[in-house]
Amino acid sequence: MSFGFSIEAWGERALFTRPELSVERVTYDVITPSAARGLIESVYWHPGMRYVIDRIHVINPIEFSSVRRNEVKAKAALSSMRSAIEGSKELPYIGSQENIVQRASLILTDVHYVIDAHFVMTDQAKAEDNPGKFCDILKRRLRKGQCYSQPYFGCREFPANVRLLEGEMPESAYSAVGERDFGIMLFDMDYSNHQDITPMFYRAVMRNGVIDVSGSEVYR
For residue range 56-74, list pLDDT tens digits in order.
Answer: 999 999 999 999 887 777 7
pLDDT reading at 204 higher than 90: yes
Q: How far does CA 75 lie from the centroid of its chain?
A: 23
Residue 1 pLDDT grade (very low, low, confident, very high; cuts 50, 70, 90): very low
Nearest to 133 by CA among 55, 46, 209: 46
Pairing of strands 25-26, 100-121: parallel
Please give the share of the chain, as a percent, with pLDDT higher than 70: 96
Residue 104 bridge partners (DSSP): 68
What gap in Å lies between CA 20 and CA 30, rounded to an integer? 16
Q: Which residue has the higher pLDDT, 20 or 212?
A: 212
What integer pLDDT is reported at residue 96 of this predicted model?
65
Q: Is 183 left (phi over 0), alpha (psi -120 to 50) or beta?
A: left
Amino acid 75: pLDDT:
72
**Residue 51: predicted pLDDT:** 94
Residue 84 — very low, low, confident or very high, per pLDDT cuts 50/70/90? confident
Compute the mean pLDDT over every residue in the chain, rounded to the nearest whole number.
89
pLDDT tens-digit series, residues 5-35: 999 999 999 999 998 876 788 999 999 999 9
Tell me the per-residue pLDDT of 101-138, one tens digit each, with 9 for 90 and over.
888 899 999 999 999 999 999 988 888 888 889 999 99
Say what the pLDDT of residue 69 is.
80
Q: Is 28 exposed, middle or buried (0-12, 13-18, 19+ CB in 10 A)?
A: buried
